Structure formats: C-alpha cells, structure tokens
C-alpha cells in the first residue's frame, strides 16, 4: 500500500574509524560532509553528486507528500529557511565562548610555562659546572720563584750570534744603564754579528767590548736603548749548600725560561773548552754547582738567590759519559756557574781595558803527573826553568819537583785544581800553600802575581 510504503534510508557517504561515530551519522558534534560539495565522499573531487528519484524524498515516510518533480535533493537537503529569535542564546553563547577562550588561553599559557620550566630544568641539569677558585691577587712574594723571575726577567737577554762556522744562542744579563751585558766567552767566540733580544721581544745589535777564554767571560754592549734594567749583583762568598736558586736563560732558544733548584755544592773545580787543542782556550772555574736545570742556551745567564741577586753565571753542565748508551744530551741535574765575585772583577776589567788579568804563582806544572797533588815540572816551556826567576813562587821558596797538595788548607788533587783555586783569587792576594818535598810537608806563603789573559 502506498500509504504504508517507506523508502530506504538515505545512503551514508562517510566512514569513521571504528567506534568513533553513531550507526546512522558522524560522531556527535561533528557536522556531516555534504555530498557533491567537495567537502567529503561523493562530492566534488571525491565522487558524483547524488540525485533522489522523483516522488521519493530520501528520509521521508510514504504518504508524507511528494516533492516537485525534477527537484534535486541533497540528502541533508536544502530546507525552507526558518527565522528563529536566537538573540538571547547567541549572547549567551558569546559569553561562554569568551570564557572558554580565556580558560583555554590560561591553560595554554600554563602549559607553555610549565614546558619551558621543564626545558630549563633539563638544561640546567645537563650543564656541568666544576668547582673553581676565584680570581686572586696575581702578586707573588718577592722571595718566591715567581717573584724572583718577575724581578729579574727585564734584565735578562737572549743573544743570537752569527759567525763563519754558523750561529748559536746564548744568554746574558744587563750590568749597568750604559748597556753593558755580561755573558760567556764561548757564546760570542768567533762572532761576526751579535743580536740582543730583551724579554719584551725587542732586538738590537751589540758590539763586543772584551772577552777572556780563561774565565769564559765576555762583555758586549748595546747602544740607544732606554729603560735598561740592570740586575743586582750578590756576593758568592755568602752562598751556602742548600740555598735555593733560580736560573734564567734560553735553553734550545726558548727565551725567558725559568728553572729552580738549590746550590748542591760550592768550590767545584771545573775545566771547559780546549777546542783549539793547545790549551789556550781552556777555562778554569771554581764553580757553584746547582741542580737547577741548565741546558744549551742557558750559557751566560744569571743564577739568582732568594733576593733576586746574581750569585753566578751559568756556564757548563755535566752530562753522562759518552760511552754510556743511555747518555742524555741535556741536563742531568749537574750545572755549574761562575761565582759572581769572579765575574764582577773580570767584567770590570773587560769594560775598562778590553782584557782581564789572571793571578799566577809563576810556575810550570807537570800536567802528566798522576799522583795526588800538583807537581811543579822539572823544566818550563821552551826549555826555560819551571819556576820563574824572581816570581811569586820563587820568592816563596818553591822549587822544581815540589808537589803542592793544599791551598789555604783545601786539598788539591791535580794541576787543574790548583789553577782553579789560584784563579778564584785576585792578583796581589796572599795564599798559604802546603808543599811536599822529599817526603816532608812544608807550609809556604805566596803573594799572587798578574798575567794578561787571552
């Protein structure tokens, strides 16, 4: 019967994930897409528009009336416009919307703030900060190694020397405001050009004033330099074993290198040089021994006491034996410095005359003698007598063949040691010599003479 006939429900044009919508429509609160509008399945790009058959308005009961023939229906259809007074509802909705937006904004701001806080906490928890001392006063006690170095470095220089056989590096230190600099003879030997570099890095040329191979000392001079900082000279007679010392130099051309140690011995007889083979360039030093590391390039640099006073001029090191397969080329803790008292006297003479004098007793020694002590030779050089006529030794009663065993009560073991002990004094000094003759010891007093150095 027509009045009881019903049409099939309108076809569904959407699909949702299982459990997300009702059986007959989209999930609650979600507007259904409109077929043929491009907003969902069945319309626009997604499918053809749907047209209902005439007389069967979708979703209407039979007998409810038929639409005009040929009228296209939308399943969710265009219905007659109904005007409804919704002013009060709209106003309520707007208030609710404002309140909702405000609440959402507050929640969002809180969430963002919390998230930022979490990030900050994470960042701070992953930033590693180790404990560290605060910046302190950079000053140091004057008697500390740092204090001594700060006082002395402005007066220490590096020497770069060029000669016919190549170049080399050594050290020196300023003696006076006139620009005189003390260094080792072996640093400037054979020099054709001498460059002096100060601790500030400034370099100037220098000229040789004088040198002495027997003492291994030399003086050079710079001109036109202002603000020179001469080092204070100490007294090597005051030095005791165990005293702390600081050495400054340019080992292996590493300028302004500071090392520290102690005086490990005094009065060490040291001979060095002799490269010419005739003994004319051998230096004899009654040296201060130190364990402050000294290496090639330290030569001529100052050895300083706890008051930053120069007590020695670093000159030589003792390496391991050449036959030792483990021999080191550098310092093994045995360095030797010329006592500053000797250096001061020689420097004064070199500045004044360009030459230095040597104290002598007027004998020729038998350097081949292997016994204990220093033996006076039977003959001197070129057949001359071994004891210089009317010389200091002759006046003291010393004879050829005598063996000198002590100087001022200190034991002498060989000819080199006797020369060292004598050169540690000045011409005119009075010494007491113990002499062995015919199996008997004699005590003789000698006044040292003078000879020009080389």
pLDDT of 95 higher than 80: no
334 φ, ψ to 5°? -125, 90
The reported pTM is 0.70
Which 8-state DSSP code applies to residue 373? S
Asked whether residue 251 is assigned to any structural domain, the reply reads yes
Domain boundary among 312, 339, 355: 355
Identify whether residues 395 and 331 lie together within a single domain: no
How far apart CA 49 and CA 43 sit, in angstroms, is 5
Q: Which domain does 3 fall in, by range?
A: 1-78
Nearest to 377 by CA among 390, 367, 365, 368: 365
Please count the structural domains in the chain. Answer: 3
Asked whether residue 129 is assigned to any structural domain, the reply reads no
How far apart CA 78 and CA 56 sit, in angstroms, is 15
Q: Which of 90-94, 176-180, 324-328, 352-356 is the least confident region?
A: 90-94
Asked whether residue 378 is assigned to any structural domain, the reply reads yes
How far apart CA 401 and CA 375 sit, in angstroms, is 6
Nearest to 245 by CA among 289, 287, 215: 289
What pLDDT score was predicted for residue 165? 83
pLDDT of 408 higher than 60: yes
* Over residues 10-16, mean pLDDT: 39
Identify whether residues 311 and 366 lie together within a single domain: no
- The residues, ordered by sequence, that sit 6+ positions from 188 with a Cβ below 8 Å of its Cβ are 159, 161, 170, 194, 208, 211, 218, 220
How far apart CA 427 and CA 448 sit, in angstroms, is 5
Strand extents, DSSP E, 242-334: 244-249, 257-273, 282-290, 302-304, 310-317
Identify whether residues 13 and 27 lie together within a single domain: yes
Q: What is the mean pLDDT of the chain?
A: 80
Domain boundary among 305, 323, 355: 355
More confident residue, 379 or 292: 292
* Number of neighbours of residue 265 by Cβ within 10 angstroms: 14
How far apart CA 57 and CA 61 sit, in angstroms, is 8
Q: Please tell me the total number of residues recorded for the chain in this structure.
A: 454
For residue 341, what are the CA distances in angstroms to 155, 348, 367? 19, 11, 28
Identify whether residues 271 and 323 lie together within a single domain: yes
pLDDT of 366 higher than 80: yes
Read off the pLDDT of residues 58-90 as tens digits, 9 standing for 90 and up.
444 444 444 444 444 444 444 443 434 444 444
Question: How much is the CA Rg of the chain, to the nearest whole Å?
Answer: 53
How far apart CA 215 and CA 286 sit, in angstroms, is 10
pLDDT of 96 higher than 60: no
Out of 39-43, 123-127, 130-134, 327-331, give the one with best mean pLDDT.
Answer: 130-134
Identify whether residues 387 and 243 lie together within a single domain: no
Place 6 in a pLDDT band, splitting at 50, 70 and 90: very low
* CATH number for the domain that contains residue 321: 2.40.10.120
What pLDDT score was predicted for residue 107? 72
What pLDDT score was predicted for residue 52? 38
DSSP per-residue letters across 173-233: EE-STT-EEEE-HHHHTTEEEEEEEETTS-EEEEEEEEEETTTTEEEEE--S--S--PPPB
For residue 93, what are the CA distances in angstroms to 29, 96, 98, 105? 16, 5, 9, 18
Asked whether residue 158 is assigned to any structural domain, the reply reads yes
Identify whether residues 67 and 155 lie together within a single domain: no
Q: Which of 37-41, 165-169, 361-365 is the least confident region?
A: 37-41
Please state whether beta strands 440-447 and 282-290 pair in parallel, antiparallel, or not at all (unpaired): unpaired
Asked whether residue 101 is assigned to any structural domain, the reply reads no
What pLDDT score was predicted for residue 112? 72
Q: Which H or E run contains 430?
A: strand 430-437
Identify whether residues 329 and 274 lie together within a single domain: yes
Tell me if residue 154 falls in helix, strand or coil.
helix
What pLDDT score was predicted for residue 147? 96
Tell me if residue 147 falls in helix, strand or coil.
helix
Place 276 in a pLDDT band, splitting at 50, 70 and 90: low
What pLDDT score was predicted for residue 328? 54
Asked whether residue 63 is assigned to any structural domain, the reply reads yes
What pLDDT score was predicted for residue 121? 60
Identify whether residues 288 and 257 lie together within a single domain: yes
* CATH number for the domain that contains residue 367: 2.30.42.10
Identify whether residues 40 and 154 lie together within a single domain: no
Identify whether residues 175 and 292 lie together within a single domain: yes
In contact, 384 and 394? CB cutoff 8 Å: no
Please state whether beta strands 244-249 and 449-452 pair in parallel, antiparallel, or not at all (unpaired): unpaired
Identify whether residues 350 and 374 lie together within a single domain: no
Q: Which of 31-35, 36-40, 312-316, 414-418 is the least confident region?
A: 36-40
In contact, 432 and 409? CB cutoff 8 Å: yes
How far apart CA 215 and CA 203 sit, in angstroms, is 27
Residue with tokens 């038929």: 66
Which residues participate in catalysis according to the annotation?
186, 216, 299
DSSP per-residue letters across 116-175: HHHHHHHHHHH------PPP------TTSHHHHHHHHGGGEEEEEEEETTEEEEEEEEE-
Asked whether residue 110 is assigned to any structural domain, the reply reads no
In contact, 331 and 293? CB cutoff 8 Å: yes
What pLDDT score was predicted for residue 5? 46
Asked whether residue 313 is assigned to any structural domain, the reply reads yes
* Over residues 327-342, mean pLDDT: 86
Domain boundary among 78, 98, 124: 78
Tell me if residue 395 falls in helix, strand or coil.
helix
Give the burial string for 239-262 (b: 16+ CB within 10 Å, else e).
Answer: beeebbbbbbbbbeeebbbbbbbe
Identify whether residues 318 and 372 lie together within a single domain: no
């Amino acid at each position: 019967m027509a009045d009881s006939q019903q049409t099939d429900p309108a076809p569904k044009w959407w699909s949702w994930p299982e459990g997300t919508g009702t059986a007959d429509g989209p999930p609650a609160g979600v507007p259904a897409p409109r077929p043929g509008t491009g907003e969902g399945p069945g319309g626009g790009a997604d499918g053809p528009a749907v047209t209902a058959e005439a007389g069967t308005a979708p979703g209407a009961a039979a007998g409810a009336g038929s639409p005009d023939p040929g009228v296209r229906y939308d399943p969710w259809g265009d219905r007659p416009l109904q005007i409804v007074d919704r002013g009060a509802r709209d106003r309520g909705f707007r208030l609710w919307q404002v309140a909702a937006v405000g609440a959402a904004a507050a929640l969002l701001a809180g969430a963002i703030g919390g998230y930022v806080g979490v990030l900050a906490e994470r960042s701070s928890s992953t930033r590693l900060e180790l404990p560290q001392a605060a910046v302190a006063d950079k000053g140091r006690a004057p008697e500390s190694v740092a204090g001594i170095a700060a006082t002395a470095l402005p007066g220490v220089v590096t020497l770069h020397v060029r000669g016919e056989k190549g170049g080399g590096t050594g050290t020196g230190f300023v003696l006076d405001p006139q620009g005189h600099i003390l260094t080792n003879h072996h640093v400037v030997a054979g020099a054709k050009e001498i460059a002096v570099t100060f601790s500030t890095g400034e370099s100037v040329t220098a000229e040789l004033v004088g040198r002495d191979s027997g003492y291994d000392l030399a003086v050079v001079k710079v001109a036109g330099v202002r603000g020179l900082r001469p080092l204070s000279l100490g007294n090597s007679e005051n030095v005791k074993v165990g005293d702390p010392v600081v050495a400054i130099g340019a080992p292996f051309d590493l300028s302004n290198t500071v090392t520290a140690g102690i005086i490990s011995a005094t009065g060490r007889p040291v001979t060095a040089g002799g490269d010419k083979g005739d003994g004319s360039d051998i230096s004899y030093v009654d040296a201060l021994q130190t364990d402050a590391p000294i290496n090639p390039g330290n030569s001529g640099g100052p050895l300083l006491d706890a008051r930053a006073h120069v007590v020695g001029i670093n000159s030589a090191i003792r390496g391991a034996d050449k036959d030792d397969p483990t021999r080191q080329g550098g310092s093994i803790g045995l360095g030797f410095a010329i006592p500053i008292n000797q250096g001061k006297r020689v420097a004064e003479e070199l500045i004044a005359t360009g030459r230095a004098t040597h104290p002598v007793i007027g004998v020729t020694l038998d350097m081949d003698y292997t016994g204990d002590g220093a033996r006076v030779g039977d003959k001197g050089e070129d057949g001359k007598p071994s004891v210089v006529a009317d010389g200091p030794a002759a006046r003291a009663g010393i004879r050829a063949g005598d063996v000198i065993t002590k100087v001022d009560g200190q034991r002498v073991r060989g000819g080199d040691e006797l020369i060292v002990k004598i050169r540690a004094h000045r011409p005119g000094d009075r010494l007491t010599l113990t002499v062995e003759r015919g199996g008997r010891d004699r005590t003789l007093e000698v006044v040292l003479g003078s000879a020009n150095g080389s």
